Structure 1
Amino acid sequence: MAFQDIIYEKYNNRAKITINRPEKMNTFTNHTLNEMIMALQSAWTDKEVGAIIITGAGDRAFSIGGDMTNEAEPQLLEKLPMPNLCAQLLQTIRTIPKPVIAAVNGYAIGGGHVIHVVCDLTIAASTAKFGQVGPKVGSFDVGYGSAYLARIVGEKKAREFWYMCKRYTAEECLQMGLVNAVVPPEKLMEETDKWVDTIVGHSPTSLAAVKMSFNADTESVWGIQSMAGIALNMYIDTDEALEAHNSFNEKRPPNYARYR
């Protein structure tokens, strides 16, 4: 299976999906998201795969979310809007009956942060940074990226993520329970593989049942996520979203006076 924006590997009863756009901080386009979904679906049905690793190419970023530059191509994949594909990717990670582990090698920001949040486990390099930028750039996530995040770090902290758009270190996220382990950057994949070695040695049916049991308590979030996708598709065409996008790219303060 040939891919353009990702690298798909299989070894030792695991699949590894690497977002391969390091020159763009591993931002994603519709095409990237579609390839990730295809890779996950391939791993889902592959009897040789017991767990899946998601990481980013290079040492700067896991992913900083959607490509918001003027060079991005939102028309890829038959004009299916990016929010719909994001929701589909997140739901695939959640519903695939195999553990999905995020190996966060650098910045996990915006949509990239949401991807790691929905993964079953997160192993982070000590140099990794985490955070949200939605309200700064004219975007939002009212499903897994917010409601489910609150289940992990608590309501107050989740609101801080979204209202303040701050950056958090790997150690801070470890204390919040948002990541499972922090290791030196050069040990990230070694440590991740150690965790996966243990996981793939366990009963696949038991792991699938446990994952679905964990998910059952938050299944309502998927409904919210679907609704949010519709709302975001409508919002991104508004003047307010355009002002947020333009001010971000032009590195100037936005003017939201008329929208308050």
Structure 2
Amino acid sequence: MARKTASKKRSASERGYSDILYEVRDQVAWATINRPRVLNAFREQTLDELIDALRSTRDDPSIACAVVTGAGDKAFSAGGDFYAMKRLNWANAAMWNDRMQGLAMTIRGLPIPVIAMVNGWCMGGGHELALWCDLVIASDNAVLGQTGARVGACPTVGATQYLPRIIGERLAREMIFCARRFTAQDAVAIGLINKCVPQRELRKETLAWCETIKGHSPQTLRMTKKSLNFESDLLYASWQHGMELLAHVW
């Protein structure tokens, strides 16, 4: 089945975004966290804008896939913004958790593949963001890890659910309990990411994967993504439990 004609596209400025860049080009939606000064750490507004941008891809049937990335070459995302996290308490932590889960469910619920294009640091909640995506392509300067044990945060909005399925139970526990970091080269070896390429070739490689996806049946992609996600979507109760635990951290 061929893709339908594209609907009118709106840029990030037209949508009123300040924390992200968003554009649709050649049937690919690009959502870029644009906070390089803080290593693309996200705050509440960042999460809201990512959710809005990615949900909007449903309105454009010509879009074949989406790419999530971070601005600059130092970081994909360092996770939650320090100052935003510092303001959290038991009363308002639920709203933060709802946003995190909302973004995860948005990415997993989209009828198109979502690629994480990882450059530099990919830590904590930023690493969970990559875990929510269908595919991960990283540059050779990327470092992926879970740092919650060092800073008193709990990676219960994706890492505790998906890491055991992706890299195995033992290694997942090691990564979380010991706050292990993996280079992109090691991440490929353990199955944490799909491919590692030289930094200068990251965008080119990502575009090549997008071109491959664009040539395939959108109906098949939609149905197989739904089927692939079905079993892990049954972990919803674990997500709820994880968010309740996380609220007590604040």
Q: Say whether residues 1:38 and 2:76 are aligned partners.
A: no
- The letter of the residue matching 2:149 is P
Alpha-carbon distance, 1:219 to partner: 1.4
Deviations 1:19-68 (A, max 9, x none): 00000000000010000000110012211211000000000000010011
Alpha-carbon distance, 1:186 to partner: 1.0
Q: TM-score by structure 1 length?
A: 0.85
Correspondence list, 1:244-259, <5 A: none
Deviations 1:116-160 (A, max 9, x none): 112100000000000001121111133521121110000011001
Correspondence list, 1:142-161, <5 A: 142-161=156-175
**Equivalent residues, number:** 234
Kept in 2, the 8 Å contact 1:74–1:81? The answer is no
Match of 2:230 in 1: 216
- The letter of the residue matching 2:21 is I
Give the whole-Å Cα distance in 1 for the aligned partners of 2:85 and 2:223.
43
- The verdict on how the C-alpha distance between 1:7 and 1:80 changes in structure 2, with shifts beyond 3 A counting, is farther
Match of 2:178 in 1: 164
Q: Say whether residues 1:11 and 2:22 are aligned partners.
A: no
Give the whole-Å Cα distance in 2 for the aligned partners of 1:42 and 1:148.
26
Match of 1:177 in 2: 191
Give the whole-Å Cα distance in 2 for the aligned partners of 1:70 and 1:47.
35
Kept in 2, the 8 Å contact 1:144–1:222? The answer is no
Give ranges in structure 1 of 5+ residues lacking alignment. 237-260
- The letter of the residue matching 1:59 is D
Kept in 1, the 8 Å contact 2:24–2:30? The answer is yes
Deviates more, 1:159-168 or 1:43-52: 43-52
Correspondence list, 1:131-142, <5 A: 131-142=145-156
RMSD: 1.8
Match of 2:77 in 1: 63
Q: TM-score by structure 2 length?
A: 0.89
- The verdict on how the C-alpha distance between 1:122 and 1:71 changes in structure 2, with shifts beyond 3 A counting, is closer
Match of 1:120 in 2: 134
Match of 1:101 in 2: 115
Kept in 1, the 8 Å contact 2:58–2:110? The answer is yes
Give the whole-Å Cα distance in 2 for the aligned partners of 1:99 and 1:191.
16
Kept in 2, the 8 Å contact 1:141–1:225? The answer is no
Give the whole-Å Cα distance in 2 for the aligned partners of 1:146 and 1:79.
19
Give the whole-Å Cα distance in 2 for the aligned partners of 1:81 and 1:27.
17
Percent of residue pairs bearing the same amino acid type: 38
Kept in 2, the 8 Å contact 1:64–1:107? The answer is yes
- The verdict on how the C-alpha distance between 1:214 and 1:37 changes in structure 2, with shifts beyond 3 A counting, is same
Alpha-carbon distance, 1:80 to partner: 6.3
- The verdict on how the C-alpha distance between 1:12 and 1:191 changes in structure 2, with shifts beyond 3 A counting, is same
Q: Say whether residues 1:199 and 2:213 are aligned partners.
A: yes
Instruction: Report the 3-state secondary structure (helix = DSSP H, G, I; strand = E; otherwise coil) of the residue aligned with 2:220.
Output: helix
Give ranges in structure 2 of 5+ residues lacking alignment. 1-14
